[in-house]
Amino acid sequence: MFKKLMLSLLLGSAVVSNAWALEDSEVPYINPDEGRIGEIRRVEDASEFKVCADPDNMPYSNLKQEGFEDKIAAVLAQELGKKLAFQYAYYRQGFLRNTLNANRCDVVMSTTSDNDSMRTTNPYYRSGYVFVYRKSSGYNIKDWDSADLRKGIIGIVGQSPPSRPLFDHGLQANARPYRMQRDLNFPPSQLIDDLVKGDIDIAIVWGPIAGYFAKHASIPLEVVMIPEYESQNIHGKENWNISIGVRHKDKVRQQEINAALERRKADIEKILDEYGVPHIPVVAGDDIVKKAHEVNESAKIDKPL
């Protein structure tokens, strides 16, 4: 949104670079031979808290370390007595392969707690999808049965979980789909920008993205968390526990981060609030993989990005 930070990346390739080697005008890059047999490979440094991060994905992270994940990483690094470092890659297909799994960095700052491609820490917040609309519209949207949902154009990321209840409530004709994997020619704020411009009337967005850009919008916007839909259809699940990811073998690192998360819980929640990230209490056990429901495979919905 997230953050799979959150699986299900569709196209593209990751590009990587060390943070210290970048200027603002440079695009991150990767040496494709790094790590091959006979080639140089990073030697893990126990004094580092080295984060795998996207160079241009606010409010999560950017090259200037202005994102809320950057700030939380700094808190954890300080708590663990380690120096903070970054390895950058666009969050697209190949992200984990070219970063965490290539040993170029050691920590992914947020992913869904049930992401089995990594060992995940205890959840440190829970968020979900939200409705966003202009205050001047006079809309009063609280759930999928709100009449005002039928009055305007709804911007929604195609194949994201809210696509399921949107379909179930017969709202497809009102929808304008956006790409699951962001076109890098457009900013992360694209959907909220279009709402502000009036190109759409309602935006359905992953909470951390919506909350941050709504807070910085040029006009007042309403942000309303979408009620959980999981009991009606598991593929319409709206809320997710968020954890930090490490390599499967890094059990000690996971335990160290768990302890740091608990000790700095208040500081982390303060950062989330400062960035406008909507968050609700963590739901214990939500990271347990649930029994597969019988669904039509053609209607399968991916988890949030």
Q: Which domains does the chain have, with CATH numbers?
A: 16-125+241-299 (3.40.190.10), 127-236 (3.40.190.10)
Chain center to CA of 52: 13
What are the pLDDT tens digits along the chain (305 aa)? Answer: 434 434 333 222 333 334 433 444 454 555 655 655 566 678 888 999 999 999 999 999 999 999 999 999 999 999 999 999 999 999 888 899 989 999 999 999 999 999 999 999 999 999 999 999 999 999 999 999 999 999 999 999 999 999 999 999 999 999 999 988 778 888 999 999 999 999 999 999 999 999 999 999 999 999 999 999 999 999 999 999 999 999 999 999 999 999 999 999 999 999 999 999 999 999 988 866 433 332 333 334 343 43
Predicted pLDDT of residue 4: 41
Question: Shortest CA distance to 100 belongs to which of 61, 52, 53, 60?
Answer: 52
> What per-residue confidence (pLDDT) applies to 62?
95
pLDDT of residue 192: 97
The reported pLDDT for the residue numbered 289 is 47
pLDDT of residue 183: 80
